[in-house]
Structure 1
Amino acid sequence: MLFRLVPFLQVGFTAAAVISGRAAGPTVTLDGGSVVGTRTGAVDKFLGIPFGKAPVGDLRFNLPEAVDAYSGTIDATSYGPSCPQQALKLPLLDGLPAETVEHILNSIFNAVLPSDEDCLTINVVKPSFANSTSNLPVVAWIFGGGFELGGTSMYDGASIVARSIAMGKPIIYVSMAYRVSAFGFLASQEVKDAGVGNAGLHDQRLAFKWIQKYIGAFGGDKSKVTIWGESAGAISVALHMISNGGDTEGLFRAGFMQSGSPIPVGDLTGGQKYYDDIADKTGCSGAADSLQCLREVDYNTLKAAVDDSPFIFDYQSLLLAWLPRADGVLFSDNPQRLVQQGKIAHIPIVSGDCDDEGTLFSLAQLNVTTNEAVRKYIQEIFLPKVPDADIDALLKLYPQDITQGSPFDTGIFNAITPQFKRIASFQGDAVFQAPRRYFFDALSGKSDIWAFANKRLKGLPVLGSFHASDILNVYGGGDLADYLINFVVTLDPTGGNASSWPKWTSSSPNMLSLNDIGKSVIQDTYRKEAMAKLNEVLLTYPV
């Protein structure tokens, strides 16, 4: 759910704006407007194009509205601001090996994203030769960040497009901003009654509709759109597959997911305590219409209240305050129950996880050092509704034995507390690995599935193959980039220089293991009993 930066970070962001003067860069006509971008080599970029009206005033904490028809000249030479970010709080880093700290700080936290409520912009990166008759396949990227932070400027799609050109399989790359934290995922009875939950997902959906309307002008084929994301972005991809009862509305034909599947979440009212806390801190708790009050409250006052809510590296960590929930609009039920009911789009997918998904987040529980403390954490924080017998079963399936913990396959090493590897294995499976396997079982025989396991960086102390460590494999031009491009073009990740990758089925659960040295095919049967129990418990007691 966290984000991963790439070495193509842009600086000097400005919102897309109307400009005057002679157009100097590549130009695309949308409605009655001329969108002016930039060209570098064989790649054109059109950045920061508004696709949704500013979600301020009555549109704050509301569903997004499409912008009016374009007119005049639109400057699309720099990214728009990110949507309001939740205040960044670092995990405890004292005592960690320098190499590990460097990975955390330099690879994850070295961005300051200019942000603004007026943030709903979209970016298009295309081969410079593409025109309105090219009909190229399209990939739409959804960034991660725990539904709490992140932005499109962190990822430069030029590397993907350039690689696709070099492969002789040119594609168009699109990325969109969406509201995060409370601004995008406010949840309560009041929000449910107003029918405005999951605004961030609606932002993404509106961006998909923009692609359908306008991507042809850039040279894209609106019938060949693959949605792709990592972490919160991958969870979003999966949730779009089950929204509206599994009806894609023709918005996309395939999904590519890195560390994210339909998650076991309950109703919007599950976020009531966080809503009430913000209402109290902004002076809206006594208002006749607290939701409307929150729309009208001063931005800085609201932002301070949101910043004070639990963050992904606070003690409760992956039990997120702000995330998609069943809302009665996009989702009629807990997403995993919708998967169980078969209310899901049967489209081709590629999906996988990092081997040690839970290590990064378990730095938030380093004070949990005894068996009793682990039980208390799981029972009181992570799974407060689960009966004692089920907690006992889970603790038995995720034992204290450090040789069975995460980073997996590292023996007695990396046990920085007596319970760290145990908690890391439990959290990584509960949030990432087990939901993915549940998702696959429901899709088997109905969709083409290609599964992967990222086992690279296993030698990194404490973290191992940690969450988001596979992102540079795509944006940095690694083999995952080739698999992605093949999949976007042909709906099959193999081909060209990409090695053979057998499909996943329930009877033959093949996974492509991406190792520090080479690749291999493994079976998706590890920790089978433990993940089955997790899925059983989480289906009955969603978070």
Structure 2
Amino acid sequence: MVPMVAHPPFDLGIVDATEQHYTVPSPPSIQLDEGVFTGRANTKTNQFLGIPFAKPPIGDNRFRQPVPLGPYQGNYDAMKFGMSCPQQPMTLPGWIDDGLTKDINFVVNIMYEGITPESEDCLTLNVWVPTGIKPDAKLPVVIWIFGGGFEIGGTATYDGDGVVSRSIELGQPIIFVSMNYRLSAFGFLAGKEVKEAGVGNLGLQDQRLAMRWVKKYISNFGGDPDKSTIWGESAGAISVAMHMVTNGGDTEGLFRGAIMQSGGPIPVGDMTHGQRYYDDIVKATGCQRSNDTLQCLRSVPYDTLKKASDQSPNFFAYQALVLAWLPRVDGIFLKAPPPELVLQGSVANVPFITGNCDDEGSLFSISTVNISTTIQVREYLKLFMMPNATNDQIDLLLRYYPDYQPAGCPFDTGFNNDLGPQFKRVAAIEGDVVFHGPRRFLLKQRAAKQKAWAFINKRMKDTPFIGSAHATDLLNSFGDGELKDYVIHFTNNLDPNGKTGKGIPWPQYDVKQPQAIVFQDSILFPIIKIKDDYRSQALDFVANLSLLHPI
């Protein structure tokens, strides 16, 4: 453990010399406009939680662009997280063991009720700052965007205290900000009606407005509005990529660096690709009789809309990562499929980190373990992942992903972990199309033009059936791991190695000689460097096929 280092102007605790213990610090307060926010204090950090950054997206503001709040006035309690945005229940296909389904639902219900209770009025953010920070400290800021498949999640799941406390120990203090954003149908409704009204990708618009809030107010907390880094995992990392490719690559000064854990410029197509989900909700709410179905959806009771939204497929459904609700091309936030925008050079010219877990697809392929033949794999791909691909293209894809368990995901596990005859094969395809392919594609297109670093997480490889699965890297970045230190150094210096370096040097990505660092289960060699060329031909083919046939 690195010893704690105090750097003025940081007060890391109040010690009672008589009783020799830390006294409870008084609640901190901050003034924004004419409003005073009272937060809560920890030994090393002050926390201001549940700060509203937009008008509630309810009533006629439902399914509209987020509206900034007017100047704050009065007194605000900022001692607890705000409500999470409406969550989508997680269910498994009916053929899967009913006991397993009940277990998953039990865990998810605990999360909903205990950690992320939901409300449609949910657009709040949170700020963690080092204790004793001065207003003119100009600390760099990391803005966290949580994951959850654009269907579940909330800021209460991620405590920024550990990140900020560790930054103080490293002598590299930062401020941590996180925001809620609209999810599922509430945040990513799609269809021609949505596109024509200009109200697509509302969850991304919520995130962008929160970034503008940081730009406007973070100096009140001692932060530097010109030194923000956006950081996300899974749907949060995909969101980071969307912010990089939107607006012609113009960051508007909202961020100067980007970090993506398991997510990138995914191959999504036009808003009309989600038309059937829109039509299902319209029918379920009785709005099909209206001349303006979108306006009708704004007026239906919340419980009615929520019930209709909950019937849509989730990421544990049979179609898995072909999500019902996710970013799509709306002509405003996204003017073309993200890989096309990358090719056009519509990318924020900022340093970035991007990485994946080794076995990204395993968790999401459990719902398809009943697929047992190559013919069924082909039918599955044709029905869900690549409906517009030709038979020849799908056949060629299957040549890159052969019917041979040792070639599948979880990778490098031989004949083990095979839940079904085609499980590891489908898992490899799912993970490469949605995660590994976009990561490698972004690096190959941009690393010669801007600074980039890459990583692979191979820890927890011994986890039965799923290996180093999606989200296992969160233990490294929010637990007691090296990735957290790299994030802190990058936020301060736009280089994960910091000014003096730490541990194993993390090489900047070179397209001609690509290298990544690997986090692995080894006491002697927990981090190693590798040549980033695994499944090179397969990932190139996946990227090209995705350009032709976005989801």
Query: What's the TM-score bracket when you normalise by the shorter of the two chains?
Result: over 0.9
**Change in 2 beyond 3 A, CA 1:79/1:167:** same
Does residue 1:336 correspond to 2:336, yes or no?
A: no
Does the CA contact (< 8 Å) of 1:245 and 1:331 recur in 2?
A: no
CA distance in 2, matches of 1:274, 1:416: 31
CA distance in 1, matches of 2:326, 2:311: 16
- 1:370-449 equivalent positions in 2, closer than 5 A: 370-449=373-452
- 1:277-426 equivalent positions in 2, closer than 5 A: 277-426=280-429
Does the CA contact (< 8 Å) of 1:374 and 1:423 recur in 2?
A: yes
Does the CA contact (< 8 Å) of 1:139 and 1:226 recur in 2?
A: yes
CA distance in 1, matches of 2:110, 2:369: 23
Please give the per-residue CA displacement for 1:155-176, whole angstroms capped at 9, x wherever unaligned: 0000000000000000000000
Determine which of 151, 157, 162 is the counterpart of 2:160.
157
CA distance in 2, matches of 1:58, 1:317: 33
Determine which of 22, 40, 43 is the counterpart of 1:41.
43
Q: Residue 34 of structure 1 aligns to a residue in which SS?
A: strand
Q: Residue 224 of structure 2 aligns to a residue in which SS?
A: strand
Query: How big is the shift at 1:286?
Result: 2.0
Query: How big is the shift at 1:110?
Result: 5.2
CA distance in 2, matches of 1:340, 1:115: 39
**Change in 2 beyond 3 A, CA 1:361/1:410:** same
Does residue 1:114 correspond to 2:122, yes or no?
A: no
Determine which of 507, 511, 528 is the counterpart of 1:520.
528
CA distance in 2, matches of 1:91, 1:188: 25
Does the CA contact (< 8 Å) of 1:164 and 1:485 recur in 2?
A: yes
**Structure 1 runs not aligned, ≥5 long:** 1-22
CA distance in 2, matches of 1:128, 1:105: 39
- 1:223 is aligned to 226
Determine which of 128, 133, 136 is the counterpart of 1:130.
133
**Change in 2 beyond 3 A, CA 1:95/1:464:** farther
- 1:43-192 equivalent positions in 2, closer than 5 A: 43-90=45-92, 111-112=111-112, 113-192=116-195
Please give the per-residue CA displacement for 1:199-253, whole angstroms capped at 9, x wherever unaligned: 0000000000000010001111011000000000000001100111111000000
Q: When the two structures are superposed, what TM-score results if normalisation uses the length of structure 2?
A: 0.91
**Structure 2 runs not aligned, ≥5 long:** 1-24
Query: How big is the shift at 1:504?
Result: 1.1
Does the CA contact (< 8 Å) of 2:179 and 2:210 recur in 1?
A: yes
Does the CA contact (< 8 Å) of 2:410 and 2:468 recur in 1?
A: yes
Q: Residue 136 of structure 2 aligns to a residue in which SS?
A: coil
- 2:6 is aligned to none
Higher relative contact order (CA 8 A, sep 6+): 1
CA distance in 1, matches of 2:157, 2:107: 11
Identity %: 51
Query: How big is the shift at 1:133?
Result: 0.7
Does the CA contact (< 8 Å) of 1:125 and 1:161 recur in 2?
A: yes
Does residue 1:242 correspond to 2:245, yes or no?
A: yes
- 2:537 is aligned to 529
CA distance in 1, matches of 2:209, 2:236: 15
- 2:3 is aligned to none
Does the CA contact (< 8 Å) of 1:91 and 1:363 recur in 2?
A: no
**AA partner of residue 36 (structure 2):** S
Q: Which runs of 4+ in 1 moved over 4 A?
A: 90-96, 104-110
CA distance in 2, matches of 1:162, 1:108: 29
Query: How big is the shift at 1:108?
Result: 7.8
Does the CA contact (< 8 Å) of 1:265 and 1:334 recur in 2?
A: yes
Does residue 1:490 correspond to 2:493, yes or no?
A: yes
Query: How big is the shift at 1:416?
Result: 1.5
CA distance in 2, matches of 1:385, 1:147: 24
Please give the per-residue CA displacement for 1:477-532, whole angstroms capped at 9, x wherever unaligned: 21000000000000010145342010112101100011111111111111111111
Does the CA contact (< 8 Å) of 1:142 and 1:233 recur in 2?
A: yes
Does the CA contact (< 8 Å) of 1:160 and 1:477 recur in 2?
A: no
**Change in 2 beyond 3 A, CA 1:525/1:474:** same
CA distance in 2, matches of 1:212, 1:93: 49
CA distance in 1, matches of 2:328, 2:405: 34
Please give the per-residue CA displacement for 1:287-311, whole angstroms capped at 9, x wherever unaligned: 1100000000011110000000111
Does the CA contact (< 8 Å) of 1:453 and 1:513 recur in 2?
A: yes
CA distance in 1, matches of 2:272, 2:92: 29
CA distance in 2, matches of 1:434, 1:109: 33
Determine which of 190, 201, 211 is the counterpart of 2:204.
201
CA distance in 1, matches of 2:357, 2:339: 21
Does residue 1:499 correspond to 2:509, yes or no?
A: no
**AA partner of residue 182 (structure 2):** R
Q: Residue 191 of structure 1 aligns to a residue in which SS?
A: helix
**AA partner of residue 307 (structure 2):** A
Does the CA contact (< 8 Å) of 2:458 and 2:521 recur in 1?
A: yes
Q: When the two structures are superposed, what TM-score results if normalisation uses the length of structure 1?
A: 0.93
Does the CA contact (< 8 Å) of 1:483 and 1:498 recur in 2?
A: no
Aligned pair count reads: 518
Q: Residue 532 of structure 1 aligns to a residue in which SS?
A: helix
CA distance in 2, matches of 1:277, 1:527: 39
